Structure 1
Amino acid sequence: MTAIKKELSFWQIWNMSFGFLGIQFGFALQGGFMSRIFQTLGADKDAIPFLWIAAPLTGLLVQPIIGYLSDQTWSPKFGRRKPFFFIGAVFSTIALFFAPYSSTLWMAAGALWILDASINISMEPFRALVADKLPDSQRSYGFVVQTLIIGIGTWIASNLPWFMTKLGVPNTAAPGVVPDSVKYAFAVGALVLFTSILYTILTTDEYPPEDLEKFEAEKKKGFLSGVQEIFKNISGMPKVMKQLGLVQFFSWFAFFTMWSFATPAITEHVFGVTDTSSEAYNDAADSVGNYLGTYGLVSMFYALALAFVTSKFKINRRLLHLVSLLAGACGFISIYFVTAPWMLHLSFMLVGISWASILSMPYAMLSSSVEPKKMGVFMGIFNMFIVMPQIIAALGGVNFLYKLIFGEAVINTMLLAGLLLILAAFSNLLIQDKRATHD
């Protein structure tokens, strides 16, 4: 018998999602500044995507396993998803703090690997928690509130090195050394990551499994049986998941392209600087972080508007996501035509609209189409469609495609990102299941 889930208030949903503030601090600092760290340590810009490869490769393995394990976990004291929140928070905090102290490229790539794997341990159960706790009528609302918190985290974290510089912390250092402004920013991010996840753990209760006796019996099957179960779920994934997977593939290929190349592309194309030890480059790199913060800020306001709409009205998730992705495509393409740095804020405002939708609508559509008792493992499997495009991009997909289609200049990576979001937008038209598309 399926338990009837109570509708939760905004603040109850806020509390259960607040840990995403810290998770996004980690992702924003990683996405906005790891390429800067790689360049500072001597990486050629064409080699940067390859240095990211360990992170998505690990995610490909970690996400479905963690999803499955969290589905099979229950403790009256610690809950189902919360133990994974805590474990991921501890390792993420350590990795985030030490990443900017890397003295070689292999150390920085290793720190990124540990950081990304650890954040994924916490993140996937957070996605499942929304589906665990909320009735279907509040699913879109719940994922939108998560996106609101993510937007806040993206904006603040992306601006931290710039803010540290304004406080007088040096943003330049000797060649091959990461500036103190970046080190301090990562330390603040580590603190926020741990405390925000701890806040969710302390303020949120979880429902026990609906049939505890059956749950305990299934839990005794063993690890090998669990692996077989994961592969069985992969081969038998719902049709809606496959269709959404194509949307996710193009979407995350686009954003991985931005995270890998925004700093070298914008510092070179808009600011005209390439010397990573120069004050001009580091000022420009701080500014790139500020522009990236704009997409987080706009995603926050867009999510706030969506939170109001989804709490009052039924929406067409598919159409909303399609339009939002097209807005982001226009944002990426416009970066190529920027003639003054302030115009980048306008470009990233459009990117922020697509980012808010990417973080909410696909998950809302998916959660209405899978079995509740397998929510964790399916959320983990679904995120394979996030890491697979990143792996392809990191193995040379970005370098090959942008040079083949648009030409050698590194700014052409932003044109490629725009094209990919256009493909993602129109892939939504493949989704026909009304349970997924309509709230």
Structure 2
Amino acid sequence: MEKRKLGFWEIWNMSFGFLGIQFGFALQGGFMSRIFQTLGANVDDIPGLWIAAPLTGLLVQPIVGYLSDNTWSPKFGRRKPFFLIGAILASATLFIMPHSPALWIAAGLLWVLDSSINISMEPFRALVADKLPESQRSNGFVIQTLIIGIGTWIASNLPWLVNKLGVSNEASSGVIPPSVIVAFSIGAFVFFGSILFTIFTTKEDPPQDLEKFLSEKKESRFIPDLILSLKEMPSTMKKLGLIQFFSWFAFFTMWSLSTPALTEHVYKSPKPDVKEFAKLDSDGEVLKDAKKDVIFLNQNAENEYKSKDKVYNDSADLVGSATGVYGLSSMAFALLLTFYTLKRKINRKYIHMVSLIMGGFGFIYMFFATPSTLMYSFILIGFSWGSILSMPYAMLSSSVNPDKMGMMMGLFNMFIVIPQIIAALGGINFLYKLIGEAHINAMILAGISLIIAGLCNFLINEKNAISG
């Protein structure tokens, strides 16, 4: 039976929860490396600290996809229970995260945060395929991207904005600035509120054959279903997986290293090493007094450290704001596609190819950028981001069994998290140092990876996936 076409605001309402999800991702992506550096992490250790994010996705999303495929409640629906569980956990973690007193606690909370976001996110992807007919799928994923772009831009600018409103972005050594704490608290409320909005405004449709669904649910087992789904993985999904591999390697590189790379190379204000200004014990560790405050060499050393740290925090705010530009340009990309796809079909393959290559050149341009021109890099990257969040899912949803949409979306996530795991376990550090020791070379590596992803679109030849 052909599904009913939905109006713009119906699609908007069912996708609105992505505003909160993206608040979580943008705050995590834009400011976790800053938190790690503040708590004492070395730059080359940061990708390894980020490994929590892809590992939790690898474990959580197939399980959540499977569970949501096999859930139905006349009162609570199919995907909405997972939206709510993820929202409660993620909002609580966002609130707690910037209060982390030690590096290992922040790294542990990142595991919890990313797991919670993943619980909410993948059912949202499946909901689009649940409710929309094939002719509206591109439009549905593009509207999700529009909302994601809004969330990315606002959340990335939050620390800068609250600082301008009078909240300090300065703090003692090893302490997260108040502006970041306030931004994460706002993100927690937005995450929870936007998910509730979708839950209360969107009604889920029951399975087309409810009796058959309930019967199959009784016989369903996760491991056998997982193995069968892997065997049934369509060729389009495998080809898209290669594209996703290089795409997400690039963006993981940006999230983990853009703050140290750009504060150092573009703004000429790297994070100062407190060990150069403080008294050290016999093991080379910083001495602290009874109040846990750093004992500096003298007053001049303390003043110099605080001055350099303030410049770094100001620059980190500006990097966060510049990063937010990619959310703004992805929003513009999605808005144009939204109007276009309301009445016309598009060639998903070539849109995705061109968008990824543009983003690749955006990353490479960072090497030549100045503080006033850095935004042009992120404008180009935003076109890639907008396409990554919509085109692969639109192509995939046209190629898989609708009864296993949640499981397949979860498995598709493997092609997102595996490159991030490789990157976190040393892939970034090894590869960018082949170009040069400076951290900005990690952004050049990201650009090369994204251009390769774009060229891999030549592999897609299934007409059903390409046109939509």
TM-score bracket, shorter-length normalisation: over 0.9
Q: Does 1:416 align with 2:452?
A: no
Corresponding residue to 1:275 among 271, 288, 303 = 271
Match of 1:388 among 418, 422, 425: 418
With the length of structure 1 as denominator, give the TM-score of the two structures: 0.98
Q: How does 1:222-301 map to 2 (within 5 A)?
A: 225-276=221-272, 278-301=309-332
Cα distance between partner residues in 1 of 2:346 and 2:271: 49
Q: What are the equivalent positions in structure 2 for 1:11-410 lying under 5 Å apart? A: 11-221=9-219, 225-276=221-272, 278-338=309-369, 340-404=370-434, 406-410=435-439
**What is the Cα deviation at residue 91 of structure 1?**
0.3
Read off the aligned partner of 1:148 and give its amino acid letter. Answer: L
Question: CA offset at residue 392 of structure 1?
Answer: 0.5
Partners of 1:200 and 1:207 in 2: CA distance: 14
Give the residue type in structure 2 aligned to 1:93: S
AA partner of residue 412 (structure 2): F
Letter in 2 for 1:302: F
For 1:416 and 1:108, how far apart are their aligned partners in 2? 27
Specify the code of the residue in structure 1 equivalent to 2:229.
N
Report the more deviating stretch, 349-358 or 308-317. 308-317
1: distance between equivalents of 2:155 and 2:372? Answer: 20
Distance 2:219 2:438 in 1: 54
Deviation, 1:35, is 0.2
Could you tell me how far apart the structure 2 residues matched to 1:310 and 1:29 are?
Answer: 30
Q: Structure 2 unaligned runs (5+)?
A: 273-305
Deviations along 1:397-422, one digit per CA (max 9) or x if unpaired, are: 00011112x11110001100000001
The aligned residue for residue 8 of structure 1 is 6
The runs of 5 or more residues in structure 1 that have no matched partner are none
Distance, in Å, in 1 between the alignment partners of 2:230 and 2:63 is 12
2:140 and 2:175 map into 1 onto residues whose CA distance is 42
Distance 1:244 1:9 in 2: 29
Distance 2:43 2:156 in 1: 21
Report the AA paired with residue 252 of structure 2. F
* TM-fit CA distance, 1:220: 1.4
2:461 paired residue among 417, 432, 437: 432
Deviation readout 1:333-385 (Å, 9 max, x if unpaired) = 000111x2010111100000000000000000000001111111000000111
* Structure-2 separation of matches of 1:371 and 1:190: 35
Report the Cα distance in structure 2 between the residues aligned to 1:292 and 1:146, rounded to whole angstroms.
19
Deviations 1:240-262 (A, max 9, x none): 00000000000000000000011
CA distance in 1, matches of 2:441, 2:140: 36
Partner secondary structure for residue 385 of structure 2: helix
Deviations 1:31-80 (A, max 9, x none): 00000000000000000000011221111011111001100000000000
Q: Report how many aligned residue pairs link the two structures.
A: 433
CA contact (8 A) 1:40 1:177 kept: yes
**Residues 13 and 197 in structure 2, CA contact (< 8 A), matched pair in contact too:** yes
Sequence identity (%): 67
Q: Would the aligned equivalents of 2:37 and 2:271 in 1 still touch at CA under 8 Å? A: no
Counterpart secondary structure, 2:362: helix
Q: Which amino acid aligns with 2:235?
A: K
Q: Aligned partners of 1:56 and 1:69: how far apart in 2?
A: 20
Aligned to 2:282: none
Alignment check: 8 A CA contact 2:260 2:271 kept? no
Q: Is the 8 A contact 1:80 1:206 kept in 2?
A: yes
TM-score normalised by L of structure 2 = 0.92
Letter in 1 for 2:437: E
Distance in 2 (alpha carbons) for counterparts of 1:55 and 1:357: 21
Q: Give the match's secondary structure for 1:4.
A: coil
- Structure 1 range deviating more: 119-128 or 97-106: 97-106
Over residues 283-335 of structure 1, what are the superposed CA-to-partner deviations in whole Å (9 max), with x where a residue is unaligned?
A: 00000000011000111111000101111211110000000001101100000
Q: 2: distance between equivalents of 1:304 and 1:430?
A: 27
RMSD: 0.8
**1:221 offset after TM fit, Å?**
2.5
Report what 2:283 is aligned to: none
Matches of 2:271 and 2:386, distance apart in 1: 34
Superposed displacement of residue 231, structure 1? 2.2
Deviations 1:118-162 (A, max 9, x none): 000000000000000000000000000000000000000000000
Q: CA deviation at 1:236?
A: 2.5
Residue 222 of structure 2 aligns to which amino acid in structure 1? G
**Cα pair 1:65 1:230 within 8 Å, conserved:** no
Give runs of ≥4 in structure 1 deviating > 4 Å.
Answer: none
1:19, 1:199 within 8 Å by CA — same for their partners in 2?
yes
Give the SS at the match of 1:106.
helix
Q: For residues 275 and 286 of structure 1, what CA distance do their matches in structure 2 show?
A: 13
Helix, strand or coil for the counterpart of 2:65? helix
